[in-house]
Amino acid sequence: MPRCYLCSKLIPVEDRPLRRRVRVGEIEKKKYGAERARFVQSQYGMRVVCKSCAAFQEHRARQKELLELHLFLTAVVVVGLVSLAFWILRKDPAGGAGFGGV
Ligand SMILES: [Zn+2]
């Protein structure tokens, strides 16, 4: 019986083992002599996981995608509002009568 790589639970034989890309380790590289020259590189590999861990991983991946979409849409709205503001200010006649400057 295979074991889940993430939670070490035994996976019953009747369940088809699911293989997912999981983080299997990391390499920390340090450059001596230079300050703050340190970076961590994660390593990923295909491992057998149980149903619940696979579902949890998919849920987290979906959450991450939604967050990225949300950030992208927020950035688009901010850029749109800023360019709209510039457009409105530029359309204003050269006297600058906008914003109560009568
Ligand atoms: Zn598991």
pLDDT tens per residue, range 5-52: 999 999 988 888 789 999 999 998 887 776 777 888 999 999 999 999
pLDDT tens per residue, range 53-93: 999 999 999 999 999 999 999 999 999 999 999 999 987 66
102 within a domain of the structure (yes/no):
no
82 within a domain of the structure (yes/no):
yes
pTM higher than 0.75:
no
pLDDT tens per residue, range 17-29: 789 999 999 998 8
31 within a domain of the structure (yes/no):
yes
Distance 72 CA to ligand 1 centre (A): 32
Asked if 27 and 51 touch (Cβ cutoff 8 Å), the reply is no
**E strands within 1-102?**
18-30, 38-49
**Number of domains making up the chain:** 1
Distance 36 CA to ligand 1 centre (A): 36
User: Which residues constitute the domain of residue 47?
Assistant: 18-91
- DSSP-derived secondary structure for 16-32: PPEEEEEEEEEEEEE-T
42 within a domain of the structure (yes/no):
yes
28 within a domain of the structure (yes/no):
yes
Angstrom distance (rounded) from CA 99 to CA 82? 16
